[in-house]
Amino acid sequence: MSTLAGKHIVLGLSGGIACYKAAELCRALMKSGVTVQVVMTEAAEHFMTAVTMQALSGRAVFTSQWDNREANNMAHINLSREADAIVVAPASADFMAKLLHGRADDLLSLMCLARPVEQVPLIVAPAMNREMWANPATQRNVAQLRADGVHVLDVGQGDQACGETGDGRMLEAEEILEDLESFFAPKLLKGKNVLVTAGPTYEAIDPVRGITNLSSGKMGFAIARAAHMAGAQVTLVAGPVHLPTPRGVQRVNVQSARQMQTAVAQHVDTAQVFISTAAVADWRPANSSDQKIKKDGSGQTPQLGFVENPDILATVAHSPRAVSGALFCVGFAAESHDLLAHATAKRERKGVPLLVGNIGPATFGQDDNALLLVDVDGARELPHASKQNLAIELVADIARRMG
């Protein structure tokens, strides 16, 4: 389940072409189990109709502070008291200036001003032309809003409706949804640095061929995202996969096992948690050709010798910081059979306090999984679920083990 499930959010729209993204955001929130009450300014109605937002939210849209549908005629009070958060997306430069100065000349700004500040967070997603965003007045307003406790999201970068290109676009609906899920997630790893490896490695035979495996990286990327949601600073060392970087996560791309080992060594000294999710190749070709190995028609196959790759997890797990308890290490085992036996043996061999096992062929490339958590006391199963939900459970388990 999403961390947003069961929440009630007031979604405010101020004027701007990015209102079309608010429709997608409303739909995404609803799919995450959120009830949505839409409030629109007069300017917003020039870009998006209330009919559309009512159809998507399943609730009548409020547009006027004089709306008499509320028995006490105080929509600005009633709507704000019912909300778990007020999200203004898009938030125009003008609307943010209103918020800064406490102006309240329409229902949305009035509601933001009247909300119980300690109980109802205000989250705004800016949207404007690049020059408007860069203007010192806007930047001062954003800085002061954040100082006042308003959660101001980042802006996107790219083509704008005016034909210009730069910073100032409103984030896409899925990006805002990801930020909202992080906002509401318990901060179980706040202040911690977490290092995650994910995906396969690729060991070159020649410039066009290599040895790899079927790992998609999805589990490791889900864990990186879950750790960030839990408040950690996360570095993700990723093998060759085609996955978007989770928001707020620092990504380091590598190809081979030795490159992954180097990247881990560069970041592990500042980490308190190391989660080795990557399916690192056990061997690599002893000699990689600089040119493509060609068939010569003789029927003879090339002779490939192999050497063992470095054991990244075991090396980190036996480091002084890990042995002293300053670094908590978690290993992964993707097996094809006898999961408990192989995962138990691997945990002891690697010397890690927690080993997470799964059946690789059943989960590679999939969006769901089932995990087996193995420690010195035995094993516990995390039943079949989405990889993101399993990642959230795993991160919570790690946080409990760390106290």
Task: Please tell me the least confidently modeled range out of 192-201, 233-242, 285-294.
Answer: 285-294
SS3 of residue 85 by DSSP: strand
How many residues are recorded in the chain? Answer: 403
Backbone angles phi, psi at 108, to 5 degrees: -65, -50
Interval 332-352 mean pLDDT: 89
CA triplet 10, 30, 3: central angle to 5 degrees?
A: 85
Q: Above 90 in pLDDT, residue 67?
A: no
Which single residue is written with the structure tokens 């420690």?
A: 375
> Which entry of 19, 26, 112, 162 is annotated as an active-site residue?
162
Interval 45-70 mean pLDDT: 93
Query: What is the DSSP track for 231-296?
Result: T-EEEEEE-S---PPPTT-EEEE--SHHHHHHHHHHHGGG-SEEEE--B--SEEESS--SSPPPP-
pLDDT computed for residue 68 by the predictor: 80
Interval 388-399 mean pLDDT: 95
pLDDT computed for residue 1 by the predictor: 63
**Average pLDDT taken over every residue of the chain:** 93
- Please indicate whether residue 162 is annotated as part of the active site: yes
Domains, the chain, ordered by start: 8-184 (3.40.50.1950), 193-401 (3.40.50.10300)
Percentage of the chain exceeding pLDDT 70: 100
Here the tokens at position 180 are 């909202």
Assess whether the previous peptide bond of 126 is cis (omega < 30° from 0): no
Which single residue is written with the structure tokens 């994910």?
A: 198
Provide the pLDDT confidence category of residue 258 given band limits of 50, 70 and 90. very high
Non-local (6+) Cβ contacts of 5 within 8 A are 32, 33, 34
Here the tokens at position 392 are 């959230």
Q: Above 90 in pLDDT, residue 40?
A: yes
The answer, as to whether pTM is greater than 0.85, is yes
Q: Above 80 in pLDDT, residue 362?
A: no
CA distances from 50 to 28, 47, 109, 335 (A): 18, 10, 18, 53
